[in-house]
Structure 1
Amino acid sequence: MNLSQIEAFCAVVSAGSVSEAARVLDCNRTKLSMAIKALEKDLDTDLFVRTGNNVTLSETGKAIYKDCENLLVTSARIRQTCAQVSGDFATELRIAHDDSLPDQVWQDLTLELNQRYPALSLNIVLASSGDLADIVEKKQVDFAFGVDFEREDDPRLTYQPLGKIRMMSVCRADHKLSKLPRVSDEVLRDEMQVSLAYLNLRDNPELLPFSLKYIGFSSFEFMLKTILSEGAWGVLPEPLIRQLLREQTLSVIKHTYGLTQEDFCMLTSSGMSEHPAMTWLADQVSDYLFTF
C-alpha cells in the first residue's frame, strides 16, 4: 500500500468514476485502475462494487474511505512542515475572495498588506462564494475569504470563521414586494429572482434558487445591478448594500427568511501553516465585520 494508490482510491470515490478521476488527476485511466487493483490485492478485499462502467463503494471501501482521506491530509501536512523548516516557503500567495464585502475594502486591505509585507507577491482573484471551497481543495489558491455556504466536514479543508455576515432578501424600494406587510412563499416564488451561480458539482441547498423564475450570476455585484435595473429580488450580504438601504433605494422583503446569518470564513487546505500576512488579513476582516 502506498500513497499513490490511496490517492487513486480517494479520487475515484470523489469523482464517482475511474474516467472522471483520471481526468481530474490528469493521468491515464488504465494506470489509475491498476493502482486501485494493486491496493485491493494488498488489502485482500474489494473496495468497489463494479457494474459495467459504474463503480460504487463496497462496505469495506466505505469503512476505510475517511481514514484514507486523513492519510492524504497528513502526507500534505508533513510535506508542508518540511518545506517550512527548509526555508522553501513561497514568497507568493494566491488568494481568492468573494464580493460580499465592498471592493473598496479589499482594495484598501490589499494595499496595506503590500506595504506591510513588501517581499511578498500576491495574486488576488474574485470567485463565487459557492466555489471557494472547491478551488482551495484543488489547490488553485492558497487561501480564500468569503461567505461559507458549504457547512461540510471535509478533512482536506480548514474553515476559520472570522465573523457573522447578515444575508438580506431585498428588492428595489418601488417593487410591489416592498409594499406588502408580509410576503408568503407563494407570492415570492412567482417573482423573478437573481441567485448565486457557482461551478462546483456539489449539491448545495443553501444556494438553490427559491423562485420558479430566476437568473444565476457568479457575483453578488451582478445580482445587485440586476435587482436595481430589472426589478428582481435576491439575497445579498449587508456590507454590500448597507448604503442603498439607508438611502431607501433597496428594501428588505418581509419574508420568513428575509434576514439570515452566515459565517464569513477564511479557508485553506488542512495542514497548511498560516502565513503571518494571512493572520493579519484575517484580523482586519474580522474587525471590519464586527462593525455590522
Structure 2
Amino acid sequence: MSINLSQIEAFCAIVDSGSVSEAARVLDCNRTKLSMAIKALEKDLNTELFVRTGNNVSLSETGKAIYKDCENLLVTSARIRQTCAQVSGDFATELYIAHDDSLPDTLWRDLSIQLNQQFPAITLNMLLASSGDLADIVEKKQVDFAFGVDFERVDDPRLTYQPLGKIRMMSVCRSDHKLSKLPRVSDEVLREAMQVSLAYLNLRDNPELQPFSLKYIGFSSFEFMLKTILSEGAWGVLPEPLIRHYLRAQELAVIKHTYGLTQEDYCMFTSAGMSEHPAMTWLADRISDYLFDF
C-alpha cells in the first residue's frame, strides 16, 4: 500500500472546509476529481473515512483517528520541499506580506523602503489585515508571511509563530470621558459603555477578541478604533505604540480596570516547514529591535 499525498491533501481539505464542494473550491479542482481521490484513498486504506448522509459528509471514527497524522504528513512534505528549495538557493523573488496596524504606519513605510534597498531583486506586496485574521490568511497561503499581535494561541501544526517581542495593549477612552474620571471602573460600568472592538473574518472563535461591552462596534483596524474613540466617546483596547502620542498629549486616558493593561506577543506568522526568507529574517530583526527599544 502506498499513500498518495494528493489524496491526503484532499482528505484534509474536506475535513477543514466541512464539505466536498468547498474543498474543491479551496484546492481549485472539480468535485468529481476530489470525490474520486477520496474513494481511491479509502480503497487503499480499506476503510471508510467519511460517513455520507445525502450531500453531507462527516468524519468516521477511523477518519477522526488518522486526521492529525494526515495533517502532519502534509506539513512534513512541505518542510522537505522548502528545505530543498533553501539548499538550492531557490528563494521567492515576489513576497506577499500581511501586517496589522498595531505599529505606526511610519515604521512600516520606513521598513519597506529599507527592505527594498537591502533586497532590490525582491518584489514586495504589503497588505493590511486585521490581527485576528493573520494566522488564517497565512494558513490558507493567501500571503507568505504575516506580522502582528498574536491573539490566537492555537496549537496548529500548519503554522509557526515566532515571537518578536511584547506589546502592551491598553484600555483607553478620551480624556474627558466619564470613565477616565473614575478611580476604579467595575465590570458592570464598563459593560454599559460603548466599546469599539476588533472585527475579523477568521471563522475560529477567539475569546481574546470578543467584545466586553454590551454595546459595541467592530472595526478591522486599530486606526479606525482609535478615530472612533477620539470622535465618538467610545472606549477600546489599543496597542501602546499606536497611541503613545495621544497619551502624552492627554487626549487619551487609560481606564482603571483589570482589563486596562495587558501584554501580548507580537509575532511573525509563517506556514509550518517554511524556512525564513533572508528578507523576512532582516525584517523580523528590525521589528524585534523596535519593540525592545520601545
Q: TM-score, normalised by structure 1?
A: 0.96
Secondary structure at the aligned position of 1:163 is classed as strand
Q: In the TM superposition, what is the alpha-carbon distance from 1:50 to its structure 2 partner? A: 2.7
Aligned to 1:237: 239
Aligned to 1:261: 263
Aligned to 2:75: 73
Which amino acid in 2 is paired with 1:101? Answer: L
Q: In the TM superposition, what is the alpha-carbon distance from 1:31 to its structure 2 partner? A: 2.1
Unaligned runs of 5+ in 1: none
Aligned to 1:89: 91
Distance, in Å, in 2 between the alignment partners of 1:89 and 1:81 is 11
Aligned to 2:101: 99
Distance, in Å, in 1 between the alignment partners of 2:208 and 2:54 is 35
Structure 1 residues 29-75: Cα deviation after superposition (integer angstroms, max 9, x where no partner): 22222211221121112222333333222222122111101111111
Does residue 288 of the first structure (1) align with residue 290 of the second (2)? yes
Q: Which moved more, 1:225-234 or 1:21-30?
A: 21-30
Structure 1 residues 84-134: Cα deviation after superposition (integer angstroms, max 9, x where no partner): 344432222211110000001111111111122222221111111111111
Q: Which moved more, 1:54-63 or 1:262-271?
A: 54-63
In percent, how many aligned pairs have the same letter?
88
Aligned to 1:14: 16
Which amino acid in 2 is paired with 1:96? Answer: A
Distance, in Å, in 2 between the alignment partners of 1:50 and 1:212 is 41
Q: Which moved more, 1:131-140 or 1:161-170?
A: 131-140
Q: Which runs of 4+ in 1 moved over 6 A?
A: none
Q: TM-score, normalised by structure 2?
A: 0.95
2:91, 2:277 within 8 Å by CA — same for their partners in 1? Answer: no
Secondary structure at the aligned position of 1:255 is classed as coil
Aligned to 1:150: 152
Instruction: Map 1:1-292 to 2 at 5 A.
Output: 1-292=3-294
Which amino acid in 2 is paired with 1:130? Answer: G
Distance, in Å, in 2 between the alignment partners of 1:151 and 1:54 is 31
2:144, 2:270 within 8 Å by CA — same for their partners in 1? Answer: yes
Unaligned runs of 5+ in 2: none
Question: Alpha carbons of 1:280 and 1:88: their partners in 2 closer, same or farther (altered >3 Å)?
Answer: closer
Q: In the TM superposition, what is the alpha-carbon distance from 1:214 to its structure 2 partner? A: 1.0
Q: In the TM superposition, what is the alpha-carbon distance from 1:275 to its structure 2 partner? A: 1.4
Distance, in Å, in 1 between the alignment partners of 2:23 and 2:115 is 38
Distance, in Å, in 1 between the alignment partners of 2:186 and 2:35 is 53
Secondary structure at the aligned position of 2:36 is classed as helix
Distance, in Å, in 1 between the alignment partners of 2:187 and 2:32 is 51
